[in-house]
Amino acid sequence: MNVPPVGDLLAALRVVAIPMRVPFRGVTTREVALISGPNGWGEFGAFLEYGPQEASRWLASAIETACHPWPDAVRHEIAVNATIPAVPAAQVAGVLARFPGCTTAKVKVAERGQRLDDDVARVAEVRAVMGPSARLRVDANGAWSVDEAVEALGRLAAYDLEYAEQPCAHVEQLRDLRVALVRAGVDVPVAADESIRKAEDPLRVRDLEAADLIVVKVAPLGGVRSALAIVQECGLPAVVSSALDTSVGISSGVALAAALPTLEHACGLGTVALLAGDVTPCPLLPDHGALRAGRVAVDEALLDRWAAPPERATWWADRVANCHAVLAAAPQEGGMP
Please identify every residue annotated as catalytic: 108, 217
Per DSSP, 193 falls in state S
Based on C-alpha coordinates, what's the Rg of the chain? Answer: 19
Which of 85-116 are b and which e, b meaning 16 or more Cβ less than 10 Å from the residue's Cβ?
A: bbbebeebeebbebbeebbbbbbbbbbeeeee
Name the pairing type of β-strands 27-37 and 104-108.
unpaired
Q: Which amino acid is it at 214?
A: I
Q: Which residues contact 82 (CB under 8 A, 6 or more apart)?
A: 95, 96, 98, 99, 102, 104, 105, 106, 270
**Rounded-to-integer distance, Cα 76 and Cα 62, Å:** 22
| CA separation for the pair 230, 126 (Å, rounded) | 32
Measured CA to CA in angstroms, residue 132 lies from 84, 163, 265 at distances of 17, 16, 17
- Alpha helix (H) residue ranges in the chain: 6-11, 52-67, 92-96, 116-130, 146-156, 171-184, 194-197, 204-207, 224-234, 247-259, 300-305, 310-329
DSSP for 1-54 reads -PPPPHHHHHHTEEEEEEEEEEEETTEEEEEEEEEEETTEEEEE---TT--HHH
